[in-house]
């Protein structure tokens, strides 16, 4: 256990120091955090539960579009924003940007969870390769369908609001890095809880 | 209902005919998938990418001045060897393993093929122009490109040819014996390793024919493979393994469904509707079976 605490403390210190030690790689480090999150969550589903899925990208994409849509839609008309050049016509004030981002993050956490509940009710009864192919179908269907919805930019894509001019030039990278890192810490904490829960249940069953 | 297709009855005929001709082509690809699924217990996610690769062979023949219809003969020969090479390199290591391992391995091959084709042939949408012209029906209100009729005809010829080959030839009998019981076939002197390689090769060759026909009839693009995999998987699970008339019927059904989805929902949702249909079919079958306390095997 002591070893683990040292390891987690080392990761925490590295995580906090990383953007200052490697200032040029903040974006890559943020992506690294997000990829670790995706790997941990896949492990919970594919590794712990035995449901091998190819469709997690559905929830990932849902979260992206929801967060950006809420961030824009709270203050400006979404359809005009995505029509083209919206980010030039409408400009978020710093307060609007962060307020929208916070609400967007919350929505992006809640709605995909509900969608996952609904989908899970229907497809978790599938076994093995049928589940794998079904989730592959869901993931690609989500991509294809979102490419046809006009209000979120269709195939052209969605330009997210640019970061407001606050702090130094480095502020944007640092902000997104620490957001990703915080979520990573949260996910590691939750996955450890799940591990402990599993241990407790298994010892109780014995 | 203010959809155009319901206002103009002839469009319904057009959609049904287009769908049937397209569906025969899908059934050919699904036939290959059913063959290797039944014999080797492998679900090949790279099926669609083999189709697209076969299509590029016909396209390059067209570029070099040879009529792309010859691709129907050249493409399966080349693709047979591509299939055997893939088998020797990757598939023989996953053949006896869990089905999910084969899905993962072939998913990897699929991504590799997509990227390699994108790198080698470029990201343009291409087609091999056959110059076959069109047939007009019902006072010119229904148009059928002759290339579609040609591709459906060739698909039927190849499917019937394969059925006869599987029934009559020595290799065909060995393949069927291995599908029934690999161990017993091995004891009776069948070289199952060779049979597996040949099965994968035959599947790749079928994909090659289908690809050549698709490059003549429609368009091809390096990233267009996955929808063909999903379609053939769907056709096979609806028809059931080893049910050839079922594969043909559900293939044509899917073709017609797609054409109607295209008219009603719009072309942008065409592929999405295919993938959603797969999910719906699986969910429907899961709930139907769960009433009997069973699950999809």
Residue B226: other Cβ atoms inside 10 A: 23
* Residue A148 sits at the chain B interface (C-beta within 8 Å): yes
Tell me which DSSP letter residue B3 carries: -
**Disruptive mutation site among A42, A134, A153 for chain B (greatest number of B CBs within 10 Å):** A134
Of A206, A14, A141, residue with least CA distance to B265: A141
Of B99, B54, B2, B48, residue with least CA distance to B275: B48
Q: With respect to residue B129, please indicate whether it lies within any of the assigned structural domains.
A: yes
A130 to chain B: which residues are within 8 Å by CB?
Answer: 237, 282, 286, 296
Contact B3, A89 (CB under 8 A): no
Q: With respect to residue B92, please indicate whether it lies within any of the assigned structural domains.
A: yes
* Residue A123 sits at the chain B interface (C-beta within 8 Å): yes
**pLDDT for residue A84:** 67
Tokens coding A166: 């606050």
Compute chain A's Rg from CA coordinates: 20
Contact B110, B48 (CB under 8 A): yes
pLDDT tens digits for range B17-33:
888 988 999 999 999 99
* Residue A52 sits at the chain B interface (C-beta within 8 Å): yes
Strand, helix or coil for residue B221: coil
Q: With respect to residue B58, please indicate whether it lies within any of the assigned structural domains.
A: yes
pLDDT tens digits for range B187-231:
888 888 888 999 999 999 999 999 999 999 888 889 888 889 988
Q: With respect to residue B294, please indicate whether it lies within any of the assigned structural domains.
A: no
Average pLDDT rounded to a whole number, residues B86-92: 90
Contact A20, A168 (CB under 8 A): no
Give the B window 255-284 contacts with A, CB below 8 Å. 266, 268-269, 271-272, 275-276, 278-279, 282-283
pLDDT tens digits for range A132-180:
888 888 888 888 888 888 888 777 778 788 888 777 777 888 888 888 8
**Disruptive mutation site among B40, B224, B273, B282 for chain A (greatest number of A CBs within 10 Å):** B282
pLDDT reading at B67 higher than 60: yes
**pLDDT for residue A27:** 86
pLDDT tens digits for range B224-271:
888 899 889 888 888 877 778 888 888 998 889 888 888 888 888 888
Contact B240, B196 (CB under 8 A): no
Residue A43: other Cβ atoms inside 10 A: 12
For chain A, the first-to-last Cα distance in angstroms comes to 23
The partner residue sitting opposite A126, judged by closest CB among B107, B276, B282, is B282
Q: With respect to residue B37, please indicate whether it lies within any of the assigned structural domains.
A: yes
**Disruptive mutation site among A45, A125, A151 for chain B (greatest number of B CBs within 10 Å):** A125
Q: Which residue has the tokens 């219809």?
A: B69
Higher pLDDT, A88 or B155: B155
Q: With respect to residue B268, please indicate whether it lies within any of the assigned structural domains.
A: no
**Residues of the domain holding B99:** 17-256
Beta strands of chain B (E only): which ranges? 134-137, 142-145
Residue contact A134–B278, C-beta within 8 A: yes
Strand, helix or coil for residue B164: helix
Q: With respect to residue B116, please indicate whether it lies within any of the assigned structural domains.
A: yes
Residue contact B278–A147, C-beta within 8 A: no
Q: With respect to residue B281, please indicate whether it lies within any of the assigned structural domains.
A: no
**pLDDT for residue A85:** 65
The partner residue sitting opposite A137, judged by closest CB among B107, B230, B297, is B230
- What's the total number of domains in chain B? 1
């Amino acid at each position: 256990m002591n070893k683990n605490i040292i390891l987690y403390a080392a990761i925490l210190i590295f995580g906090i120091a990383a953007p200052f030690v490697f200032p040029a790689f903040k974006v890559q480090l943020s992506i690294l955090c997000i990829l670790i999150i995706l790997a941990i969550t896949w492990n919970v589903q594919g590794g712990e539960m035995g449901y091998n899925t190819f469709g997690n990208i559905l929830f990932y994409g849902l979260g992206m579009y929801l967060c950006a849509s809420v961030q824009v839609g709270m203050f400006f008309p979404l359809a005009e924003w995505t029509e083209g050049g919206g980010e030039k016509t409408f400009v978020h004030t710093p307060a609007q940007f962060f307020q929208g981002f916070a609400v967007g993050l919350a929505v992006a956490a809640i709605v995909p969870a509900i969608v996952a509940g609904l989908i899970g009710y229907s497809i978790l009864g599938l076994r093995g390769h049928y589940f794998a192919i079904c989730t592959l179908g869901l993931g690609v269907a989500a991509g294809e369908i979102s490419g046809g919805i006009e209000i979120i930019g269709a195939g052209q894509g969605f330009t997210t609001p640019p970061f407001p001019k606050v702090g130094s030039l480095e502020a944007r990278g640092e902000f997104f890095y620490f957001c990703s890192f915080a979520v990573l810490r949260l996910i590691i904490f939750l996955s450890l809880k799940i591990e402990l829960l599993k241990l407790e249940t298994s010892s109780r069953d014995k | 209902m203010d959809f155009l297709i319901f206002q103009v009855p002839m469009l319904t005929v057009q959609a049904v005919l287009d769908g049937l001709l397209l569906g025969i082509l899908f059934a050919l690809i699904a036939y290959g998938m059913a063959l290797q699924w039944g014999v080797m217990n492998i679900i090949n996610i790279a099926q669609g990418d083999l189709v697209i690769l076969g299509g590029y062979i016909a396209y390059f023949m067209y570029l070099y001045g040879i009529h792309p219809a010859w691709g129907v003969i050249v493409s399966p020969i080349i693709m047979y060897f591509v299939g055997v090479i893939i088998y020797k390199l990757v598939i023989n290591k996953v053949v006896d393993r869990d089905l999910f391992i084969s899905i993962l391995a072939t998913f990897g091959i699929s991504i590799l093929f997509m990227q390699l084709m994108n790198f080698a042939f470029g990201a343009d949408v291409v087609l091999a122009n056959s110059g076959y012209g069109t047939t007009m029906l019902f006072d010119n209100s229904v148009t059928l490109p002759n290339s579609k009729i040609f591709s459906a005809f060739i698909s039927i010829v190849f499917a019937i040819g394969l059925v006869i080959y599987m029934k009559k030839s020595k290799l065909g009998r060995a393949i069927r014996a291995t599908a029934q019981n690999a161990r017993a076939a091995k004891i009776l002197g069948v070289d199952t390793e060779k049979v597996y390689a040949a099965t994968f090769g035959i599947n790749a060759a079928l994909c090659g024919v289908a690809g050549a026909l698709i490059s003549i009839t429609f368009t091809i693009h390096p990233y267009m493979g996955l929808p063909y995999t999903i379609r053939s998987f769907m056709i096979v699970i609806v028809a059931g393994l080893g049910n050839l008339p079922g594969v043909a019927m559900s293939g044509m059904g899917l073709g017609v469904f797609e054409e109607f989805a295209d008219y009603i929902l719009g072309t942008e949702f065409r592929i999405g509707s295919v993938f959603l249909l797969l999910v719906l079919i699986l969910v429907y079958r899961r709930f139907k079976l769960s009433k009997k306390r069973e699950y999809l095997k």
